[in-house]
Chains A and B, each alone.
Chain A
Amino acid sequence: MKVLNFRRVAIVLTLVWLGLFVLVPHVLVVLTSVMSPDPQHLAVWPVTLASWERLFEPVYAEVFWRSLWLSTLTTAICLVLGYPFAYIVAKLPGVWRGVLLFLMIVPFWTNSLIRTYAIKLILGNKGLVNAALLGAGLVDEPLQLLYTPFAVVFGLVYVLLPFMVLPLVSSFDKLDGTLLEAARDLGAAFWARFRLIIVPLTMPGIIAGSLMVFLPAMGMFYVADLLGGAKNLLLGNIIKNQFLVVRDWPFGAAFSVALIVIMAGLLWLYFLANQRINRQGGLDDEGL
């Protein structure tokens, strides 16, 4: 009986917490998105869909596609870098694996805003990279690295790479080495093993890692602000500007809701894919 009571209390507390701090704010955002903008009171009645219509203006479509492209590129780079890294980490003996994962997590002890500033110092005209290139005589004048899409993607990859690596490591941990031996035994050389066994069986990690990079990448306005110059590069920048600069809260809210819906859609796809893989036995094959 006691256990049951504790469970009930825990569930109620969680629900209250989620209601107060997740549901209510989101309802407020949705409400705001259908109100009228007002420079002084931020959002006023009457109810209107004007903000939602504005979402479809070409200028925002352009931001949407660019944001999508930069996030996709970031995700792809993180995957290409993170996949072999995760494989190596998962195959290393205990101590080294711990050390590498630790080093991966250490930067999190510093706020990512500060780390983004540090990237500015590295990529700037008088930064480390240019100083090295000039010093080596490879270039005659500093390269414009900062305030380019390159810098933004660089910053996003730097901040988000661990989110790709961690799910991948756990996927590689679950990958049974005797399956790779069986594939070898049946005549599969490295690429065949990679394509036919390793990739399909680590698909849950690939999808989870990609989502954990892709979703935040769409909204990381400060990275784009600091490294990309004052352009509306990402969806997150538009939202931030509508709230803090233009002070058009209904439009900013409409944008937020749209972004949330897109992310929810992607999570839904992830859920479906995972279910499919699970049904195939990719994850839970009675641990042979």
Chain B
Amino acid sequence: MNRLPILTLSHISKRFAAQEVLSDFHLTINDGEFFTILGPSGCGKTTVLRLIAGFEQPNEGKILLNGEDIAGIPAEKRPVNTVFQSYALFPHLSVFDNVAFGLKMAEVDAQNIAVRVADALAIVRLSDFATRKPHQLSGGQKQRVAIARAVVNRPKILLLDESLSALDHKLRQQMQLELKQLQRQLGITFVYVTHDQEEALSMSDRILVMHNGQAQQVGTPREIYEAPRNLFVAQFIGEINVFDGEITRALGEYQYQAMINGVERDIRCDHRFAAGDRVHVMLRPEDLRIDCRPNVLERKGFPGVVLERNYTGQTLNSHIRLENGQAVTVHEFFDEDDPDFDYSINQKVGVDWVPGWEHVIPAERSGQA
């Protein structure tokens, strides 16, 4: 996908009183993509959207829309619409008038307004609710009105602030699909804010992971999930097991030998390391294997005992305590041919992985090798 940048934030910093909410923040969003900003509560996601929408001005840095600095353009003139975290529907106006508001401001003629509002309401499946007032709607319905009210204006960029968070699981999945379809159909750039990593992974073309007002990593859902750049990203996106290790020698390009939990292992990685460098060797629970052969000498991997095991329907999730005290989580798919596939609590096992499935980054915190 070769898309052109539509929006660039460069060197942005934003302070409220003494608190620095964003610092030296960079972001490039491409035309027509579904871009997600993902991060824990309070990390500054809403602030980024407010800067783009024009409700806040950056203390430093520039925001370029199609290459032009938009610092001087007030919020009401920016070709950007927002779906607010709190919906912000006008309580005194009907659903129809709420959705029609932006078109009226743009002086679209009444006939066109009627058609476009009806279309927008059909998209969010609220055609029968046009005459209702916001206080007569459920939380999910309000959210959908808020989406219709923004989409109907066909902005260049649509900003959505946790716009599906109030919906129940099923409706949420439906709306996720519909939002994606809508986005493809309209060709509008979506900037979607969420703290739900599953939602981010399933909907986005690219994801920005934020923490404490700083961009941690930008990439496709796959890059973010499989090759997290640091511990925060690794741990924020799903579960991950982190083993601390030390490089003992280089075996070739991107091939090293490392001491992990007292065992020498070969590892692969994209970084360049020297002997003595500390590393984090990370493995997703589904990439680990449990070796439960009764003979200790035959067992491969780090020795440990089973603490807990849970069925989830598709996988068996086991919690293992290694000999050094570290707890690891392993997810294994059921083997349908093996009805006895299970472990008993306190069973001695080995935890191992297929060489090459590990993801290695330089160590951030001190740990034993």
- Interchain CA distance A201-B84 in the complex, whole Å: 19
- Interchain CA distance A277-B317 in the complex, whole Å: 56
A178 near B135 with CB under 8 A, answer no
B135 near A187 with CB under 8 A, answer no
| Given A285-B134, A285-B135, A288-B86, A187:B92 Cβ within 8 A | no
Q: A201 contacts which of B92, B105, B135 (Cβ < 8 Å)?
A: B92
A237 → B minimal CB distance (Å): 41
- Asked if A192 is at the interface (CB within 8 A of a chain B CB), the reply is yes
CB pairs A–B below 8 angstroms (23 shown): A178-B84, A178-B86, A178-B88, A179-B91, A182-B82, A183-B101, A184-B76, A185-B82, A186-B76, A186-B153, A187-B76, A187-B106, A188-B105, A196-B101, A201-B91, A277-B92, A280-B91, A280-B92, A281-B133, A281-B134, A282-B92, A286-B135, A288-B86
- Asked if A62 is at the interface (CB within 8 A of a chain B CB), the reply is no
A259 → B minimal CB distance (Å): 34
- Asked if A181 is at the interface (CB within 8 A of a chain B CB), the reply is yes
| Given A186-B101, A187-B76, A187-B105, A281:B81 Cβ within 8 A | no
- Residue from A181, A197, A201, A282 having most chain B Cβ neighbours under 10 A: A181
- Asked if A136 is at the interface (CB within 8 A of a chain B CB), the reply is no
Where the two chains meet, the residues of A that have a C-beta atom closer than 8 Å to any C-beta of B are: 176, 178-179, 181-189, 192, 196-197, 200-201, 277, 280-282, 284-286, 288
- Asked if B70 is at the interface (CB within 8 A of a chain A CB), the reply is no
B135 near A186 with CB under 8 A, answer no
- Interchain CA distance A192-B55 in the complex, whole Å: 17
Chain B residue with Cβ nearest A188: B105
B76 near A188 with CB under 8 A, answer yes
Size range of the chain B interface in the assembly: 20 to 34
A182 → B minimal CB distance (Å): 4
B134 near A189 with CB under 8 A, answer no
Residues of B within 8 A of A178 (CB): 84, 86, 88
B91 near A189 with CB under 8 A, answer no
B133 → A minimal CB distance (Å): 5
| Given A192-B105, A281-B134, A284-B135, A186:B92 Cβ within 8 A | no
- Interchain CA distance A179-B53 in the complex, whole Å: 14
User: How does the 8 Å CB contact mask read for B97-131 relative to A, with 1 for contact and 0 for none?
Assistant: 00001100110000000000000000000000000
- Asked if B273 is at the interface (CB within 8 A of a chain A CB), the reply is no
Residues of B within 8 A of A186 (CB): 76, 81, 101-102, 105, 149, 153
Residues of A within 8 A of B74 (CB): 184
A281 near B102 with CB under 8 A, answer no
Chain A residue with Cβ nearest B159: A185
A200 near B102 with CB under 8 A, answer no
A282 → B minimal CB distance (Å): 5
List the 10 closest pairs (A to B, CB-CB), nearest first: A187-B105, A281-B135, A186-B102, A182-B88, A285-B91, A281-B91, A178-B88, A184-B75, A184-B76, A185-B82
